[in-house]
Amino acid sequence: MGTNGLEDEKGRRDRELIELLNELRVAMPGVQVLFAFLLIVPFSNGFPRMTALQRNMYFVAFLCTGLAALLLIAPSIHHRLRFRDRDKEALLQRANKLAIVGLGFLAAAMTAVTFVITDVLFDEPWPVLVTGIAAGLFAWVWYAVPLFRRHSDQDVLG
């Protein structure tokens, strides 16, 4: 804290880094569980019966989950490798971008998994409809709401 009780620049950066790392700790278990699930699917009895489209969407989900894990873990390793370099602002900027893109890949992975599961369970039009709704909800709740909120005094969720 500064002499006037306000947070100084170093304190702000320290707090923001802690907040970011805590947010990543919330996202990572979901990524890990999804990745573990996707790792075992090809070895299940039903995998050979999947259509080409289902396999392709499964592979998209698998790749997106791997990329999400890569990007969401990256800020931690960057911090470990550079924590004494007194370059926390650059680390925060980079980590924030990695987290945003990583969560985008997580949303894509979850949307692809939604398609695969819905397509296995139901006939058309349900897989496309449910997947479109899932993609729209991810885009709206994860990205549009905070971006609209930045430009407005009203919260778009209510």
Is this structure's pTM higher than 0.85? no
> What's residue 156's pLDDT?
54
CA atoms of 99 and 25, how far apart (whole Å): 11
The mean pLDDT of 142-158, rounded to a whole number, is 74
Residue whose structure tokens are 């019966």: 49
Residue whose structure tokens are 């320290």: 14
Q: What angle do CA 32, 48, 66 make, to 5 degrees?
A: 20
> What's residue 157's pLDDT?
59
Extents of the domains making up the chain = 9-150
Residues in the chain: 158
- pLDDT tens-digit map of 58-115: 999 999 999 999 999 998 888 888 777 778 888 889 999 999 999 999 999 999 999 9
Amino acid at 121: L
> What's residue 85's pLDDT?
77
